[in-house]
Structure 1
Amino acid sequence: MVSTRTPGSSRPRGGSTGRSTTSTTPAQAVPPVRRGRPRGGPGHRSFPRQRGEEGPTSPPDRLNPAGLAGHRGVQLLGCLVAAGWAAGFPIVSDLSNQRLWGELAAPAYLLAGVLCLTLPRRLAARAGAAAALLGAVLVPLVVLVLEGRHQSEVMVVERSAHLLFTTGSPYLPDPVVVTDYNPYLPAMALFGVPRALFGDGNPLARLAGDARIWFALAFAVCLLASWRLLRPSRDRAPLLPLTVLTASPLVALALVGGGVDLPLIGLCCLAMALAERDRTIAAGLVLALAGCLKWTVWPALPVAVLLLWRLYGRRPAARAGLTALGAAGAVMLPYALLRAEELRDQVVRFPLGLTAIQTPAGSPLPGKVLAGFGPTGHIASLVLLTVGGLGVAVWLLARPPVSAIAAADLLAAGLAIAFMLAPAGRFGYLALPVVLVIWPRLAAGRWTGRPPVPPCLLSYPEPALPAVQP
């Protein structure tokens, strides 16, 4: 007789079944079955293997973000919306830089729509994206750089690098006018170093030294790296999605005018991707760098730590958190000890509107409107901001993220609430949470923040045991 048992089957119940079974020799022993570990255990994986190997239970996502963006109708609609948005700036904006951007970007978006509609499908998207990038980003950026026109934050960052080289601190000790304030943490001065090195003596030096160029490069590098980490396969290059995102009004206007928040967006996306892939030390270092640029991105640290804890356990989460705190502390501690008053007044109190000189940042957002009613409205804005932050913290603890998409969504929600309810905020700040929602989905190729394969189903088929003669 032969054995009919297969690996993993249980022994017969209730007595003999009339079949004889024989034990296998060590050489014939079946290797142990690889099964998923309990949620949160070390080495736990809540995503399929690399190279696009989806689990057997994950349904195909036919309407994935990249597939939806490939339809001509969606492309044309996006170009028309972008053109309408850009065309409004020459009419409603009182800032010359924004009016110039609108005058150049609106025709470029219309041309991109025509190309998407008329060219063959294999060329339409690339040609439309190139036209939008040229007209909405490259041309206006070069014009503004060569004319020396930019938002005040670009000048503040470039001046902070000069001060760092000459005085050892990126902060002016006694600010008198609003542009004397530097609301950024010390690492932001790194983006002003090219200006300090190249100067502005000729057009090439002005281009190479402009902080906006380096903001954009940091943004692109971080998004490309996060794409490579989150993409389950190499079947799609990230150049076209990155071009479309950069050429969109969401990023293009911010990049052309100032772009100071673009590195923050890229670093947050990269940190969540590294956390999902269990790159704990790298995630901690990226979080430390982001936290040394601007204090408003520090909520990314608990989000990434809880993502690591949920996927891989306490040790990786603690390792990433301690790495981030240690690296950031090494950068910030000298300034906290020697420049504590400047840090407090310029980095914290000034953005919150608590200094004698008020920040010029302002848009008709709820927090700004409340702050306009005087001290009572300002306090109400801060109270609502605190309540909103506590609500997001409760959400984070009650439902920790299980993927980079879910983590980015949580961080985007917290930042959106902060920007909406802060006493001083701009519509441009909302680019950060919007990109956090969009880019991880494009990279991962799915809408949902849930893992493609449930952790309990991360097992592999068992090989059949050949028949053994008695």
Structure 2
Amino acid sequence: MTAPTRAARTWRAVDSTAGGLTLDLGLYAVSAAFAAITAVTSTLPPHRAWGGVAAVGYLLAALLSTGQLLARRQRPAWAGTAARSAVTGLTWLTTALLPLVAQSVQRAAGRTDRAQEEVVVIEHAGIRLTETGTPYLGHDAIAALPADERLLGYTPYQPGMALFGLPRAAADAWWTDSRVWFALVTALVLALAVATLRDTRRFPTGRPAPAAVLRGVQAATVLPVCALTLATGGDDLPVLALCLLALAFAAAGRPAATGIAVGLAGALKLFAWPVALVLIFWGVTRRAGLRVAAGALGLPVLALLPALLVDRDALVENVLRFPLGHGLVTSPAQSPFPGHLVATTLPAGRVIAAALLVAAGLAIAGRLLLRPPRTAAATALICGYGLLAAILLMPSTRFGYLLYPLALLVWAPALILAPHSCSRFPGGVARQGVDLET
């Protein structure tokens, strides 16, 4: 038995205890504590505001999960997947959407401390897109800004992200806050991903376990790092949701749709590009590599073309120079992960950190070349572990970026097809779906 298989069995054993309710209760209880601590100790006003609202939402979810546990034997329907899904939806409403709307309304009323910098940056990018045809400011334009405003002059995203700033270009209201549109797109995309995994026409001989799909949705919505990010900044959530949708399409055997979904994500942010690369290798094992690559690579390139034609230097300054540390200001992403600590504390630390990052990349590339993933679940695991390694080893990174590997790794069991007629392990995953090829 391989170590990954043992880890998968352990996860299923924990996840299936009391029909999943024990882990639900633990998730909500720990999240309530995290939100309360954030409300009291965070140095960021939007985070403190989120914590005060979200702590109550998580506490309510923990109480509801406790009630489900107590009623599990007398009223099984109250503790089933449908009831757990209802609690998950309510939790997302109270811990992500409610604080998001509250902060958007307060910001529209004049509060300047109710959004993270990326919200302002993306809205300015949307306004520039309508006025100049490119979401980016050039080097000279950024240099002309006051020193304390130059950071906000950079737009270190792919051009598609500016679309979320277009509503603000049309009107100044709470509902034009870019976070509102991040949340709307995230909800719609996740709903499509779930519908894809529940489409019995695509899985005539078996389908993903509903409980595993629910757990994957929880990881992308009510996990504190996701709820906090959506409520205060939000730009990573549509990217993550599109990556999860691409993997759902892969599980359903739809390579063209897979490429389109991950290509849309790549047109928003660079974080989706490694996922696109792994999915192309998955497509090659299905003799559909070109169909995946057409969308996965074509859509980001199409998104870049207008900005490239309007102002090539501005595109390079924002998308390449700034993220690589060669802009007029440095990125504030300085979470104390190993790569950052190595880069800042050791002699020639940046070179060492870069070498470690390259070594990790080469190891993953070798894995893909020698043994490309043949299932969507294996693809999700490679993406999750690969992004985790990259985030930990990058000299400049954010704690919030962990939402990508966490959600991808929890999404992987939701992509395992469980045949209808075979014995199952706890958690509803069939014996034939255990090997995730890792």
Report if TM-score (shorter chain) is over 0.5. yes
Structure 2, unaligned stretches of length 5 or more? 1-8, 108-113, 199-205, 419-426
1:83 aligns to what SS in structure 2?
helix
Q: Could you list the per-position Cα deviations for residues 85-131 of structure 1 after superposition, in whole angstroms to 9, with x for gaps in the alignment?
A: 22221343211111122222223222221221125343463564355
Aligned counterparts, 1:238-277, within 5 A? 242=217, 245-277=220-252
| CA–CA separation in structure 1 for the residues paired with 2:11 and 2:296 | 38
Q: Does structure 1 conserve the Cα–Cα contact (< 8 Å) formed by 2:219 and 2:410?
A: no
| CA–CA separation in structure 2 for the residues paired with 1:283 and 1:369 | 37
Partner of 1:3: none
Partner of 2:111: none
The share of aligned pairs that are identical, in percent, is 37
Q: Does 1:333 align with 2:305?
A: yes
Q: Which has the larger Rg?
A: 1
Q: Does structure 2 conserve the Cα–Cα contact (< 8 Å) formed by 1:368 and 1:424?
A: yes
Q: Does structure 2 conserve the Cα–Cα contact (< 8 Å) formed by 1:227 and 1:444?
A: no
Q: Which of 322, 331, 343 is matched with 1:359 structurally?
A: 331
Aligned counterparts, 1:278-293, within 5 A? 278-293=253-268
TM-score, normalisation: structure 2: 0.79
What is the CA distance between 1:212 and its match in structure 2?
1.2
Partner of 2:385: 413
Q: Does structure 1 conserve the Cα–Cα contact (< 8 Å) formed by 2:342 and 2:353?
A: yes
Q: Could you list the per-position Cα deviations for residues 172-199 of structure 1 after superposition, in whole angstroms to 9, with x for gaps in the alignment?
A: 12214101000001111111122222x1
Q: Which of 182, 186, 189 is matched with 1:219 structurally?
A: 186
Partner of 1:45: none
Q: Does structure 1 conserve the Cα–Cα contact (< 8 Å) formed by 2:39 and 2:52?
A: yes
| CA–CA separation in structure 2 for the residues paired with 1:441 and 1:450 | 13
Shift in alpha-carbon separation, 1:194–1:283, aligned structure 2, 3 A: same
> What amino acid sits opposite 2:37 in the alignment?
G
Aligned counterparts, 1:31-430, within 5 A? 63=12, 67-68=16-17, 70-119=19-68, 120-121=71-72, 122-123=77-78, 125=84, 128-129=87-88, 131-148=90-107, 149-173=114-138, 174-175=141-142, 176=145, 177-197=150-170, 199-200=171-172, 205-207=173-175, 209-231=176-198, 232-233=206-207, 236=210, 242=217, 245-310=220-285, 312-313=286-287, 316-373=288-345, 376-430=348-402
CA RMSD of aligned residues (A): 3.1
Q: Could you list the per-position Cα deviations for residues 376-428 of structure 1 after superposition, in whole angstroms to 9, with x for gaps in the alignment?
A: 32233222222221111112222211211110111112211222222211110
> What amino acid sits opposite 2:156 in the alignment?
P
1:298 aligns to what SS in structure 2?
helix
Shift in alpha-carbon separation, 1:430–1:167, aligned structure 2, 3 A: same
What is the CA distance between 1:443 and its match in structure 2?
5.4
User: In proportion to residue count, which structure has more helix?
Assistant: 2
1:372 aligns to what SS in structure 2?
helix
Structure 1, unaligned stretches of length 5 or more? 1-59, 455-470
Greater relative contact order structure (CA < 8 Å, 6+ sep): 1
| CA–CA separation in structure 2 for the residues paired with 1:102 and 1:324 | 37
TM-score, normalisation: structure 1: 0.74
